Homo-oligomer: A and B are copies of this chain.
Amino acid sequence: MVATKERILHTSTELFGRQGFAGTGMNQIVAEAQAALGSIYHFFPGGKEQLCEEAIRTSGQIYLHLIEAVIDTAPDVTEGVRDFFTGAGAHLVATDYADACPIATIALEVASTNDELRRATADVFELWVAAASDRLETAGIPPHTARELSLFALAALEGAFVLSQASRSIEAIEAAGTNVVACIRAALS
């Protein structure tokens, strides 16, 4: 049972991330998750909207752990942030430019159309910003600047994903990574 629920959630996360909320139908989720429509409604009685909200919050947690792991295993926070941009670019190429941020497509789509889902995306972005900000503070950057740099770094990465997926080139991710790292270095010195 848990396996079925997780399979449905995993498939939904991938489809919502690649095609958006409106572009992903319940029939496609049923087919790709190899689950019955009845079992989807059993696990997610709120239907597509509940499924999407859980997909947003679940991938939010997964990527939170990724941010923490990448930064915390690097020699310092500057190298950690650089590694994160490098890894994001490599993953984009490895997935033929399909897997970037799991929630950005939905975030833009629901910003003006679905307040419940908009709040879920805002909560996830806030988790990520807080995790980065904590680490910049620990490295010695004052709280206000740490938060500003974290918001800016996440913005640069999210936007670089948009440009890189459109152009099928990681030039924008490299350009963003170089400049974000330079700004963090300047704040530390």
Q: Which residues of A does B touch, CB under 8 Å? A: 18-23, 97-98, 100, 104-105, 107-109, 111-113, 118, 121-122, 125-126, 147-149, 151-152, 154-163, 165-168, 171-172, 175-176, 178-180, 182-183, 186
Residues of B within 8 A of A104 (CB): 108, 162
The answer to whether A126 touches B167 (Cβ under 8 A) is: yes
- The CA of A156 and the CA of B157, in the complex, are separated in Å by 7
Contact A125 B163 (CB under 8 A): yes
List the number of copies, as a whole number.
2
List of B residues within 8 angstroms of A166 by Cβ = 107, 111, 118, 121-122, 125
Contact A108 B165 (CB under 8 A): yes
Give the CA-CA distance A179 to B141 in the complex, in Å. Answer: 15
Q: Lowest 5 CB-CB distances: which A-B pairs, in order?
A: A159-B159, A22-B23, A158-B159, A155-B159, A111-B165
